[in-house]
Structure formats: structure tokens, C-alpha cells
Amino acid sequence: MAPRLLGVSLKMYFGHERALGWCRDIAALAREHPAVRSGAVELAVMPSYLAVPEALAILDGVAVVGGQDLAAADKGAFTGEVSGAELAEIGCRVVEVGHAERRALFGETDAVVRAKTAAALRHGLTPFLCVGETDRPDDPANAADACVRQVDDALGDAADDSDGGAPIVVAYEPRWAIGAPEPAEPAYIRAVCSVLRAHVRGLTAHPGSRVVYGGSARPGLLTAVADDVDGLFLGRFAHDPAALAAILDEAHALDAQDGSADPTAAHPTASSR
Ligand SMILES: O=C(CO)COP(=O)(O)O
């Protein structure tokens, strides 16, 4: 079984020193934790841009690191932007694209998300492509349809720009569940993610693509949705390293149930920059 993927975006919650301290705590945890050591879990951390270079050094060998956004363009007169080329140059392997907050607060349109997805793939960055319905629909099938459309739309420019063959990560993040006290119900998440997962597994230009759930994800959720998701995309509930440790424990227990743990396997993120 492929490793479970646990992504964490620190958004803009922490200052610089707190972000680096958190990275050090997570690095220490991950180095010791059997779920990471065995390769059962792959960690991806997206701090704010300023913390990315030091996060890369601190988390080297235990987590991939990336930006929370990237520019659609590769270079030029784009004040305030950071290109995928620069993120890749310093060692990033992943980048968020089209997060609900970027769409809602910074006016990112579908066309922008399309261009940024293409830019990520062009520079060898795995996009964490964020999709999700705005309002809670009655029927998860409607949410799944909307998400499938968002994924296909976001990849619309990528086929020509990318070499093909690079996986993506689809982060299913219903906007109504982000920043909420509780995540969406497990049955709802499973219903949407099972459709999305079947869809992304059929993306022949992006083999190995995965689906993770985000939106108030917290300890206990992975176990409840594990059959239909490839992992979680965590926000606030990863701020406490003990909570992340609890989720790693869950992943380890799930891996033992799968019977696929290979304690001798190299960690998939272990290659250095
Ligand atoms: O948006 C998220 C991750 O990208 C989730 O954030 P919260 O878990 O804090 O709701």
C-alpha cells in the first residue's frame, strides 16, 4: 500500500520563531515515530514563505516542504510573487494551489488555479490542488461532481505544459468545514472522496495521484475515513505536536492492519535536497 500522506499548512498562524520551533518539534517526532520510519506515512509541510528555507533544512529526510501558493508566471515584473521555479530551486517538492482562502480572500479564479497548477507541474512540484464545494449540499454526490469538475478544470492547462506522468495530490477541502469546530462527517467525506479517488486514479497523465481530506481534520478522523482517502491535510489541529503524534499513531495502527508495513523500507521523502 502507498504511504499515507499527512500534509500540514501553517497558513499565517505562527510568527517566524514559532514556526521554526514547530518544525523542530515535528522533525524530532518524525525521526522517532515508527509510522514515518517505516515509510507508512509521508509528511508534507507548508510553512509561510519566509520559513521555507529553514524548514527545508530542519525537516530534511523526514518531510517534504513547500509553499502555500506560487505565482502563475515563472519570472518577471510580478511584485510580491514567488515562482514555482524558485521554490523548486531551493528544494521544495510540493506546493498548494487554489486553497479556498486564496479563492475567497484573494480572488483566485478557476483560470488562475489552472495556470498555477500548470506552473507547479512545469517545475516538478507536486500540486496540492485544493477543491471543494462552498456550501454544504444535501447530497455528497453533488459535492463529488463539483469537485471532479474542479480537478479537471484545474488540469486544463497542465497537459500541454507538463511532461505528463507527474502525480498530483487532490485536497478535498469543503469550504464550510475549514476553520470549523468539527470536520465534515466521516460518511460524507468517504462518499465524496471515494468518487474523487476513482477519478484521480483514472488520470492517465498523472499516475500515482492521491486524494486527501482537509477541513478541521483532527485526531480520530484518519481512522474513520481511511478506506476512502490517502491521507489528511491538516491545519489548526496540527499546531500541537502531540495531536500530530496521535494521528501518526493512528496511521501506524492502520498500517499494521493493512499488514503492509515494511520496517526496512526507505522513507519516500528521505532523499536530501
Ligand atoms: O485549510 C486547511 C488546510 O489547508 C484546514 O484548516 P483547518 O484544519 O484549520 O480548518
Domain coordinates in residue numbering, the chain: 4-26+44-238
pTM here is: 0.93
pLDDT at 268: 39
Q: What are phi and psi of 227, to 5 degrees?
A: -70, -20
Torsion angle defined by CA atoms of residues 164, 169, 175 and 180, in that order, rounded to the nearest 10 degrees: -170
Q: What are the average pLDDT values for consecutive 10-residue runs of the chain, which has 273 residues?
A: 93 98 98 97 98 98 98 98 98 98 97 97 97 90 96 86 76 97 97 98 93 98 98 98 98 88 42 35
pLDDT at 269: 41
Q: Write out the CATH class of domain 4-26+44-238.
A: alpha beta
Q: Ligand 1 centre and the CA of 259: distance in Å? A: 30
- Between CA 144 and CA 134 the distance in angstroms is 12
Pocket of ligand 1 contains residue 217 by CB under 6 Å: yes
Q: Ligand 1 centre and the CA of 22: distance in Å? A: 17
Read off the C-alpha cell for 111. Answer: 483560470
Pocket of ligand 1 contains residue 178 by CB under 6 Å: yes
Q: Ligand 1 centre and the CA of 41: distance in Å? A: 19
- Between CA 123 and CA 111 the distance in angstroms is 19
Cα–Cα nearest to 183, from 230, 223, 151, 152: 223
Q: Which residues are catalytic?
A: 99, 173
Pocket of ligand 1 contains residue 199 by CB under 6 Å: no
